[in-house]
């Protein structure tokens, strides 16, 4: 299902105009690329903020519907700017793409069947070393996530990038067969005591 972003044309630009928009509950943005002119837009702040909380919003094809325009804007969220104090989004950049364009973006990695994992049953922990992978694929075949099946893993087992079966058409460029996930040994009482001692020593040094 295509995620739709409702927008309006933005006539005014500049910092003062942007501040007025934000006070009015609007978020500014821009649509660019694809050999077409840039379009400055505004969106409802609260609606778009909710969409930003959905990880698929960051890795899916989006359709920006600009009020009063019949042009279809198929885009990817290319960048977002954030207020460093309030930790709120302040501006969104959308890049035009076609379904057959080759793109590269970060896709989340998820561990599946962790509850059945023998290593976890014995007290081990799933250590997700790479929370995302830089995947190259066509825009119409963006995977929602990259799954790593932990169902048969024991403590000490490791999954490298070359162990993962990627979705059809997806490629992860790599020179080194890097680690994506492993099953770490459970912490013992002595490990916890050492951690506590290190914390005390660090606090004393400060």
Does residue 15 carry a pLDDT above 90? no
Does residue 200 carry a pLDDT above 50? no
Query: pLDDT band at 24, cuts 50/70/90?
Result: confident
pLDDT digits (tens, 9 = 90+) for 142-186: 999 999 999 999 999 999 999 999 999 999 999 999 999 999 998
Residues 147 and 110: beta-carbon distance below 8 Å: yes
Neighbours of 66 (CB within 10 A): 20
Distance CA 130, CA 119 (A): 19
Domains of the chain plus CATH, in order, are: 3-96 (2.40.240.10), 102-191 (2.170.120.20)
Distance CA 116, CA 122 (A): 11
CA distances from 192 to 61, 67, 188, 202 (A): 46, 59, 6, 15
Which pLDDT value is given to residue 71? 83
Query: pLDDT band at 1, cuts 50/70/90?
Result: low
pTM of the model: 0.76
- Per-residue pLDDT averaged across 194-203, rounded? 53
Residues 72 and 4: beta-carbon distance below 8 Å: no
């Amino acid at each position: 299902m295509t995620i739709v972003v409702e927008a309006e044309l933005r006539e005014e630009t500049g910092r003062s105009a942007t501040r007025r928009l934000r006070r009015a509950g609007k978020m500014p943005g821009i649509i660019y690329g694809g050999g077409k002119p840039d379009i400055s837009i505004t969106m409802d702040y609260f609606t778009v903020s909710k969409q930003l909380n959905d990880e698929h919003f960051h890795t899916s094809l989006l359709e920006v519907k600009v009020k009063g325009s019949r042009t279809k804007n198929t885009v990817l969220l290319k960048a977002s700017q954030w207020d460093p104090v309030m930790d709120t989004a302040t501006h969104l950049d959308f890049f035009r793409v076609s379904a057959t364009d080759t793109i590269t973006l970060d896709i989340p990695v998820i561990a599946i069947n962790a509850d059945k994992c023998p290593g976890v049953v014995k007290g081990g922990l799933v250590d997700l070393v790479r929370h995302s992978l830089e995947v190259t694929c066509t825009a119409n075949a963006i995977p929602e996530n990259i799954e790593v099946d932990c169902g048969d893993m024991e403590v000490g087992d490791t999954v490298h990038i070359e162990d993962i079966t990627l979705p059809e058409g997806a490629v992860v460029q790599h020179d080194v067969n890097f680690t994506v996930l492993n099953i770490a040994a459970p912490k013992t009482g002595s490990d916890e005591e050492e951690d506590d001692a290190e914390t005390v020593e660090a606090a004393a040094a400060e």
